[in-house]
Structures are given as C-alpha cells and as structure tokens.
Amino acid sequence: MHKNSLLSMKDLSKDDIVHILSDALLFDSCYADWQLPDAGSLVANLFFEASTRTHYSFESAELQLGLKAVDIAIAGSSVGKGESLYDTLKTLEMHGYKALVIRHSRERYWDELENLKIPVLNAGDGAGDHPTQCLLDLLTMQQEFGTLAGLNVVICGDILHSRVASSNKTALELLGSKVTFAGPKEWSREGYEWVDFDEAIPEADVVMMLRIQKERGAALDGVGDDSYLEAYGLTKDRYARMKKTAIVMHPAPVNRGIEIDTDLVEAERSRIFKQMYNGVLVRKAVIKRAFGYGPFEGENR
Amino acid sequence: MHKNSLLSMKDLSKDDIVHILSDALLFDSCYADWQLPDAGSLVANLFFEASTRTHYSFESAELQLGLKAVDIAIAGSSVGKGESLYDTLKTLEMHGYKALVIRHSRERYWDELENLKIPVLNAGDGAGDHPTQCLLDLLTMQQEFGTLAGLNVVICGDILHSRVASSNKTALELLGSKVTFAGPKEWSREGYEWVDFDEAIPEADVVMMLRIQKERGAALDGVGDDSYLEAYGLTKDRYARMKKTAIVMHPAPVNRGIEIDTDLVEAERSRIFKQMYNGVLVRKAVIKRAFGYGPFEGENR
Amino acid sequence: MHKNSLLSMKDLSKDDIVHILSDALLFDSCYADWQLPDAGSLVANLFFEASTRTHYSFESAELQLGLKAVDIAIAGSSVGKGESLYDTLKTLEMHGYKALVIRHSRERYWDELENLKIPVLNAGDGAGDHPTQCLLDLLTMQQEFGTLAGLNVVICGDILHSRVASSNKTALELLGSKVTFAGPKEWSREGYEWVDFDEAIPEADVVMMLRIQKERGAALDGVGDDSYLEAYGLTKDRYARMKKTAIVMHPAPVNRGIEIDTDLVEAERSRIFKQMYNGVLVRKAVIKRAFGYGPFEGENR
C-alpha cells in the first residue's frame, strides 16, 4: 500500500494530525487558490456505499486543487461481473489514475490491496474508520478553541454503529481532550466511558450528536422518533443548559427532530454546516499529502 | 433564495426575457467562446427525475462557460438516508459549489430553500414550471420570425400534464403572441383557449406538439398509438396544410409515430433539433445571469 | 455516419491499423503530454452495458488529451422514456458534444445512425465487435515481439459469446499472424480452426484466455469452476510448458481461479495489466483520429 495513503486515524501520529490541520487552516486563508503542481492529474472516486457529503466534498477538494475527478459508477461496473476489488483498483492504476478515494461497506477493505502502487484515501470502511470525518471534527474544535488539549467532548447517540465515534475517540485522546459518551445503553461499547447526557451537558465544551444509522440496522424497541429526542436528543432545553462557549456538532446527514430539534440545526452555537465547510479544507490537505507534498509551513512552525 | 435564481417564467419581466434571448443569440455569434470570469467555479447538477436533454444541455453550457460541472448521484446520495432537500443543498453550498441546477418531481420544491445563499436554476419542477425549456422555445420562434409580437402559436397534445404548456402560455402572452391549445378535451385546462386542431393549422405560425407524458400517468381510453396520431398528431396531411412559413416544434423526447409522423421529425419546417441546439444557448445565458453578469449589450440596445 | 468513426475492425485497412498502433506507441514516449488542438471540446460516454475497464480507460484517454468528458446516465435518461437511440445521440450532437463513445447490447447499433454528423467510437456492440480491445491486444503483442507477422496466437475459452475473439481473428490474420482456438467444443464457431489446448501451448507465442461471460448466458453442464480451470484454464502446469518468450493475455475482468490460476494473473510472463495500460494508449490514438488528425509520423515512416 502506498505510504501516502490515509486509511485510519490509527496510522497518524500526533505530528501528522497537527500538520494536516495546519494545512487545512491555511487552505482557508492564504492558500485558498493553491493548486497541485500535478494539476490535471486524474483521481477516481469509488463510493460502494451511499454518500453525499463525503463524496462531493472530496470532489470539490479535488477540483479546487486542479485535479480531474472521475466518479466510477459502481452499479454499472465490472464489480457486477464478479471482479475482485484489487483487480478493479489495479485496473484504474494502469489507466493512469493517480489516487483513489474509496468508501466500502467492508471494514479494512484495504487489507487485500498491498500491491497497489497509488495512494488510497479512505472515505469510510463499514463501521470501521472515517479519518477525514474525524479530521474535520478536530479542525472545527481547534478553530473554536485554539487547541484540543483539555477540551471536554461528549459524544451522544448511536456509538455502536458509528465509525465516527471510534475515530474521534482515538484522535481526541491522543491530542489531550477528554471524551465521554452518552445515549442508549444498548449502543454503548466496551472501553468507552459512559455518562448521563443531562449531567454531562453543562460541563461539555463540545456536544457531538451522532446520526441513528437506520441503514446499518440501528433500532430501539419502544423508542419512536419523538421519544428518542426527549430521551437522548438535543432538545432546546438541553441546548439552553450548555456552556455559553460550547458548540454543537453532528456529522450529518441529520435526522431532524430525532437526534436534534430541527430549530437547532442552524442555531448560533451549532457548527453543523461549518463542519461541512471544513470537510473540504481537510480533504484538500490529505489529497495534497497523498501527492507527496509536505506541510506548507514545514517542520519549523 | 438567491436573487439570480431562475425558478419560474412568472418571475421574469418582459425585459428580463428580452435580455436573456439577446444574450443567447450573441452566444451563437460573437460570444461563442466567451467564458465566465468565474471560470473554474463548481456547479452541481441534481436531477431527481430522468432527463437527457435538459441535463446534458445544461452540462454542455456549464462546461462551455468554463465551469466545472459535478453530477450529484441521487440514488447513491444521502437523500436515500432521509435527508431533507434543504440540508442536501445547503451541504453543497458549504462544499463550495457556486450554483445548483435542479430537477425535482415536487412542484415549487424551492419553497423550503429560503436560507440557501447560492442561485438555483430550475430544470423542471413536477407539472409546474420549466423556464429554460420555455426560453429555448421563445428563442427558436424569435430566430425564425424576428419578433414574438403577433405570432399565432398552436400548442397541441397533453396540455394537462405539461409544464411546457403553462410556461409558454405565460411568456408568449406577455410578449404579444396569440396562443391557443388543441388536443384531447380530457387534457384541457381551465383558462386555456381551446381550438380545433385541423381548423387552427392553416392559420398557425408555430405548431408545437407536446409529448404524451406516460410517466405522469397520461393515458386515453380507446386511443392507441396510431389512432392518436390520426386524431391529434402531426400527420403528413396536416403538415402539408401548414403555412409555407410556419414551423413545427416539440420539446422532445418525441414519441415517434404518436405525436408526430416519424418522417416529419427532421422535415424542412421542423425546428425540433434546432430547439435542442438553442437549449444550450439559453442555458448559457441564464447561467451567466446566475453568476451576476448583466446582458452583453447593456440597457441601450 | 461520420468517416472518422471507429465501429468495427473490419472497417480498418492494414495501414489504418499500423498507423493507430504507431500513434499509440508514440503516446507512450515522446507524445505522452500531447493534447488535441480541440482541447476543451466535449465528448460524451454512453455505456448501455456495464463496463469498468473500457469506460474509464476511454475517460482517462479523453481527459489526458484535454477533452471534457461527460458520462451520460443511462438509467436516468430519456432512453427510459422510450426515445430512439438516434434521437438521443442526435440530441447530444445538437448540444455541442463533438464525439460519442458508445457501448450497447445491440449488435451493429450504428446501422440506424446514418444521419449523425459526429464520430462514434464503438466500445462494444453485443457479441459483435470491440475494436479498441482488439487494438490494445495487437499493441501488446507488437510491443513484445516487434511485429505481428508470423506470430502463433492461441485463444482459449468462451469463443462463442466473445466479441474479442472475432475482432482479433480478423485483425491478426490480416497482419500475418496464425490464430487458432481452443476450449469447450460447445463454444466453438464455424470457420475457427480448433486445436487441443495442451498440444497448442508449447508452440504458442501468445496464450490469450477469454472470460466466461456469465452475463451473456455462458454455462456448461457438469463443469464447475474448479473443473473448468483443470480442463480449459491456464494452470501453473500449462504455464510452465509455455515457451520462455511466450506471453499470457486476458481481456479482463478475470474470473480468478476459473480461466486462470489466481497466482498467474501477475506472473512474470503475464501481460494482463499491461493490456489495460495499453488500452489508454490506443484509445488516445483512435480519439485523435476521430478528431481528424493523421498519424504523428505521416505516411513516410
């Protein structure tokens, strides 16, 4: 596997993360129009699972960097003829594509891709990892608070089925934040510190709500949409009890009225749409890294 | 909603229409290679309903103007995860897309999009409106006759299910044409002047045939494909009884042998494929307008 | 039909083939960055049948040549509204697309396209032809052996359902190679010289394995995947009995473990992935030809 691939947050050192976030911030200011010296190179996007935000955020990042982006139609591809994932991807390498962005339902799909010679950017592998989502979450917190060290982050909801929860836990702890989890006990995970949501809210700097992943089989007996909001969602009452400096996050798509009161999606302390904006910035940073370019400010910042 | 959006013909003044048609004509001559100063900006195309002509005509116009065009895969998008249309579109705004081209089955789908900050170009909303189709029809008539004032236009066929009929009625009457309607009485609409097709033909400057929209449930008892052509379609006999200067139009796709004799689709007086050519010209004009650029020739023409 | 179309290998003279292969080779060396003077022109890709390799190889070639490539969504197009193929394609011509790449399940789908004014590049028509696949096969052999004259080529497998077999037979015989066929007798064709695979292997310069096209109804009574490999596939034993200079080819996608032992796909004498690389080179050559440009080295080579 190409060394500039980005597969899992676990592969990134603290320095790697710092460099990526630093580049992402610079893409929002003096490097907004920066293009890859490899402008005109081809990148292929392969989404074996549905996606809007990750897919078109990556595509926006690719195009802004001057790359040519090609969406591979999965339904109409040789995958349907029984071809192995490796053979499909090796084919694209031979066709001249210089990097691949992949979302796949199989966790660690890259384990069979050793012989691939071009970088892979993981856009989500089953309930495994989703590193660019994690990076954009980190960026959003860093923009807000200047640092991640010492932050109190509460993540609430469908922890069990979420690739966001595990990526964020790994990275936030590495960077010195305190992370706790809340939501229905049925969706807890071993090794994750569980708290009462209502007790945690007044102390939190970041309240991150997760989406109920109905398409992964998430369901709770006796909990309809309304009762979920009351029990575990972000209601106006809970929002009012947050610190005045605290922010609301959600990886989206949002089930409005279930995880969060619909009026709060664009509330003053919500950073939900800001997260999407930041998604393009971090994806520009990891694509730049995939093409072999070091951080803008070198090692001396 | 962004003020440079184009949602319905009803939103355009007579001057607006004149400016768009004027720009479209200039795109066919001295401004053929004109590119947006915003060349390189991203546009997203969202077709929630099937389309060839409108979709790839818009895409051609976007690319000719130097924009980068991204087709959003609806089937593989978060729409399938229950996301609201507003949230999907706001996401694309946050990702850096500068304009949206949208076809949707819901009439006036834009009523929920107030908070969107980028222009929307309506590529058809259910049985509601289809402004760029109307504009290309107007352009085709203006090219042929120099003016729309005083033209006698007969529109025949499935008036009831057609978003073309209502857009054209509004605009043609505003611009001084006389518009009448023909076809099966079951498909008439209140407030639409109904005429006998055979009586209307010798007087018409424009004979516009509409497609039977089977996918919207259009069907007539006891009327097979052949008998429809005889009763309400453009047969060779009817074509022969048209004025020598009159033209045939059809928004296409054509059901050959139903609305029109297959040999007439490319007959001398048919402008059916010319309409498609003109579609790119008017779409270039409305995209230019969406990006905030006034008419090429200013107010002084 | 436009004269620069490429529909069938039967339409190409020996000289035409030589010119295309020569251009393809030059695209791999001194002309690697060559762009069409028509750079920025629009090409539309229409794949009515599933494809990865051909589709995204064409798209890579188009983009490398500086064209703008648009993938027409078949499922979401007016084809689903009953439009004729001619009307769909003529529409794209009127929209300003300058060439069309088409794969279709109907053999000789181009017979109804006489009035089209832009070139069509055939990317496969049912069990008919697949000229660019044939050209990339020829290129791969020519790279290896310097010439095609006198080569001994054995093609083994599902000859009956393969558009590759017939294109290659025509072209290789024209260029002076000897071509024989092997595999299950049920899949033989009249006029194709049949040989025993095991006897043919030690004499062959090229061993070309074909894919079992399950999606075209290929199936053999009493032959499972394992027994097919033993009876007609390329096993390690057969590979060991090949000439030391001989090469293995396969148009892919490969059914690993059926037509070929999975370990041989990237074996030293395998050119399977090289074929995919070459696919982009020949497609660049035929696109260049479609836009009216003669061979790089003129008639004087």
- pLDDT band, very low/low/confident/very high, at A140 (cuts 50, 70, 90): very high
- pLDDT band, very low/low/confident/very high, at A257 (cuts 50, 70, 90): very high
Report whether pLDDT(A295) > 90. yes
- C96 contacts on B by Cβ (under 8 Å): 60, 64, 280
What is the nearest CA distance from A68 to chain B, expressed in angstroms?
10
Find the CB nearest C80 among B50, B71, B252.
B50
Q: For CA atoms A277, A280, A285, A286, give the dihedral sign.
A: positive
Find the CB nearest B42 among A60, A75, A256.
A60
Which pTM value belongs to this model? Answer: 0.94
- A62 contacts on B by Cβ (under 8 Å): none
User: Which candidate in C43, C94, C116, C118 is best for mutational testing of the B interface (most B CBs within 10 A)?
Assistant: C94
Please indicate, yes or no, if residue C3 is contained in any of the structural domains: no
Instruction: State the average pLDDT over residues A164-180.
Output: 94
Residues C136 and C267 in one domain: yes
Kindly report the number of other CB atoms within 10 A of residue B299's CB atom: 8
Residues B267 and B284 in one domain: no
Q: What local confidence, expressed as pLDDT, does residue A164 receive?
A: 87
Report the residue of chain B nearest A282, measured CA to CA.
Answer: B95
Q: Which amino acid is at A139?
A: L
Please indicate, yes or no, if residue B299 is contained in any of the structural domains: no
Question: DSSP letters of C174-188?
Answer: HTT-EEEEES-GGG-
Please indicate, yes or no, if residue B4 is contained in any of the structural domains: no
CA dihedral A268, A273, A279, A282 (to 10 degrees): -20
For residue range C159-176, list pLDDT tens digits in order: 988 888 988 999 999 999
Q: What local confidence, expressed as pLDDT, does residue C30 receive?
A: 94
Let me know the angle formed at the C-alpha of C64 by C63 and C69, rounded to the nearest 5 degrees: 10
Contact C95 B253 (CB under 8 A): no
What is the nearest CA distance from B186 to chain A, expressed in angstroms?
41
- pLDDT band, very low/low/confident/very high, at C300 (cuts 50, 70, 90): very low
Q: In whole numbers, what is the pLDDT of chain A averaged over residues?
A: 92
- pLDDT band, very low/low/confident/very high, at C58 (cuts 50, 70, 90): very high
- Asked whether the beta carbons of C187 and C224 are under 8 A apart, the reply is no
- A252 contacts on B by Cβ (under 8 Å): 78, 83, 87, 91
What is the nearest CA distance from B105 to chain C, expressed in angstroms?
13
Higher per-residue confidence, C50 vs B88:
B88
Subunit partners of chain B (3 or more CB pairs within 8 A):
A, C
Report whether pLDDT(C299) > 60. no
- Asked whether the beta carbons of A16 and A129 are under 8 A apart, the reply is no
Find the CB nearest A56 among B83, B92, B115.
B92
> Which helix H or strand E contains A45, and what residues bound it?
strand A42-47
Q: What local confidence, expressed as pLDDT, does residue C215 receive?
A: 58
Q: What local confidence, expressed as pLDDT, does residue B301 receive?
A: 43
- A249 contacts on B by Cβ (under 8 Å): none
Q: What local confidence, expressed as pLDDT, does residue C221 receive?
A: 62
Q: For CA atoms B234, B240, B243, B249, give the dihedral sign.
A: positive
- DSSP 3-state assignment of C279? helix
Residues C136 and C94 in one domain: no
Report whether pLDDT(C119) > 60. yes
- DSSP 3-state assignment of B156? strand
Contact A273 B76 (CB under 8 A): no
Report whether pLDDT(B75) > 90. no
Task: Give A34's contacts (C-beta < 8 A, 6+ positions apart).
Answer: A27, A65
Q: What local confidence, expressed as pLDDT, does residue B222 receive?
A: 58
Please indicate, yes or no, if residue C218 is contained in any of the structural domains: yes
Find the CB nearest C276 among A44, A73, A91.
A91
Contact A60 B115 (CB under 8 A): no
What is the nearest CA distance from C273 to chain A, expressed in angstroms?
7
For residue range A82-100, list pLDDT tens digits in order: 789 999 999 999 999 999 9
- Could you tell me the residue range of the domain that residue A191 belongs to? 132-273
Residues A283 and A224 in one domain: no
Find the CB nearest B91 among A53, A211, A255.
A53
- How many distinct structural domains can be found in chain B? 2
Q: What local confidence, expressed as pLDDT, does residue A218 receive?
A: 57
Return the closest-CA partner of residue B246 out of B209, B193, B278, B202.
B202
B271 secondary structure, DSSP code: -
Q: Which residues of C268-279 are buried (b: 16+ CB within 10 A; e: fewer)?
A: eebbbbbbbbbb
Q: What local confidence, expressed as pLDDT, does residue A242 receive?
A: 98
For residue range B121-130, list pLDDT tens digits in order: 999 998 889 9
- B69 contacts on C by Cβ (under 8 Å): 70
Q: What local confidence, expressed as pLDDT, does residue C217 receive?
A: 55
Q: For CA atoms B140, B145, B149, B153, give the dihedral sign.
A: negative
Q: In whole numbers, what is the pLDDT of chain C averaged over residues?
A: 92
Subunit partners of chain C (3 or more CB pairs within 8 A):
A, B
User: Which candidate in A27, A36, A51, A53 is best for mutational testing of the B interface (most B CBs within 10 A)?
Assistant: A53
What whole-number distance in Å separates Cα of residue B176 and Cα of residue C80?
A: 37
Instruction: State the average pLDDT over residues C7-25.
Output: 96
Report whether pLDDT(C76) > 70. no
- pLDDT band, very low/low/confident/very high, at A72 (cuts 50, 70, 90): very high
Find the CB nearest B276 among C81, C95, C115.
C95
Contact A83 C274 (CB under 8 A): no
For residue range C183-219, list pLDDT tens digits in order: 999 999 999 999 999 999 999 999 999 988 765 555 6
Q: What local confidence, expressed as pLDDT, does residue C202 receive?
A: 98
Q: What local confidence, expressed as pLDDT, does residue B38 receive?
A: 87
Residues A97 and A108 in one domain: yes
Contact C91 B254 (CB under 8 A): no
Please indicate, yes or no, if residue C297 is contained in any of the structural domains: no
Q: What local confidence, expressed as pLDDT, does residue A301 receive?
A: 44
What is the nearest CA distance from B50 to chain A, expressed in angstroms?
17
Report the residue of chain A nearest C51, measured CA to CA.
Answer: A77
Instruction: State the average pLDDT over residues C234-248.
Output: 98
Residues C251 and C284 in one domain: no
What is the nearest CA distance from C58 to chain A, expressed in angstroms?
9
Contact C96 B60 (CB under 8 A): yes
For residue range B234-270, list pLDDT tens digits in order: 999 999 999 999 999 999 999 999 999 999 999 999 9
What whole-number distance in Å separates Cα of residue C138 and Cα of residue B231?
A: 58
CA distance readout (Å), B199 to B157, B233, B259, C185: 15, 14, 18, 68
Q: What local confidence, expressed as pLDDT, does residue C39 receive?
A: 81
Residues B23 and B122 in one domain: yes
Instruction: State the average pLDDT over residues C62-83.
Output: 83
Residues B172 and B113 in one domain: no
Q: For CA atoms B280, B286, B290, B294, give the dihedral sign.
A: positive
Phi-psi category of C129—alpha, beta or left, where left has phi over 0 and alpha has psi -120 to 50? beta
Report whether pLDDT(C229) > 50. yes
| High-pLDDT (> 70) share of chain B, % | 93
Say how many CB pairs under 8 Å bridge A and C.
81
- A76 contacts on C by Cβ (under 8 Å): 47, 50-51, 55, 74
Contact C277 A94 (CB under 8 A): yes
Find the CB nearest B254 among C77, C80, C87.
C87
Please indicate, yes or no, if residue A235 is contained in any of the structural domains: yes
| High-pLDDT (> 90) share of chain C, % | 83
Please indicate, yes or no, if residue C70 is contained in any of the structural domains: yes
Residues C56 and C90 in one domain: yes
What whole-number distance in Å separates Cα of residue B142 and Cα of residue B23?
A: 13
- pLDDT band, very low/low/confident/very high, at B144 (cuts 50, 70, 90): very high
User: Which candidate in A48, A51, A60 is best for mutational testing of the B interface (most B CBs within 10 A)?
Assistant: A60
Find the CB nearest B273 among C80, C82, C94.
C94
A148 secondary structure, DSSP code: -
CATH number of the domain residue B113 falls in: 3.40.50.1370
What whole-number distance in Å separates Cα of residue A122 and Cα of residue C298?
A: 47
Find the CB nearest C91 among B59, B256, B276.
B276
- A211 contacts on B by Cβ (under 8 Å): 81
Q: In whole numbers, what is the pLDDT of chain B averaged over residues?
A: 92
User: Which candidate in B34, B53, B280 is best for mutational testing of the C interface (most C CBs within 10 A)?
Assistant: B53
Q: What local confidence, expressed as pLDDT, does residue C216 receive?
A: 53
What is the nearest CA distance from B77 to chain A, expressed in angstroms?
5
A128 secondary structure, DSSP code: S
- B75 contacts on A by Cβ (under 8 Å): 75
Please indicate, yes or no, if residue A261 is contained in any of the structural domains: yes
Residues B41 and B58 in one domain: yes
Give chain C's contact residues with A (Cβ, < 8 Å): 47, 50-53, 55-57, 59-60, 63-64, 69, 71, 74-75, 214-215, 252-256, 265-266, 273-274, 276-277, 279-280
Q: For CA atoms A226, A228, A231, A233, give the dihedral sign.
A: negative
- B104 contacts on C by Cβ (under 8 Å): none
Q: Please give the structure tokens belonging to residue A219.
A: 């369901």
What whole-number distance in Å separates Cα of residue A287 and Cα of residue C188?
A: 50
Kindly report the number of other CB atoms within 10 A of residue A216's CB atom: 15
- B81 contacts on A by Cβ (under 8 Å): 50, 211, 214-215, 253
Give chain B's contact residues with A (Cβ, < 8 Å): 42, 44, 68, 70-73, 75-84, 87-88, 90-92, 94-97, 115
Higher per-residue confidence, A78 vs A267:
A267
Residues B141 and B200 in one domain: yes
Instruction: State the average pLDDT over residues C235-244.
Output: 98
- B215 contacts on C by Cβ (under 8 Å): 81
Residues C197 and C69 in one domain: no
What whole-number distance in Å separates Cα of residue C276 and Cα of residue A178?
A: 50
Contact A95 C273 (CB under 8 A): no
Complex confidence, ipTM: 0.94
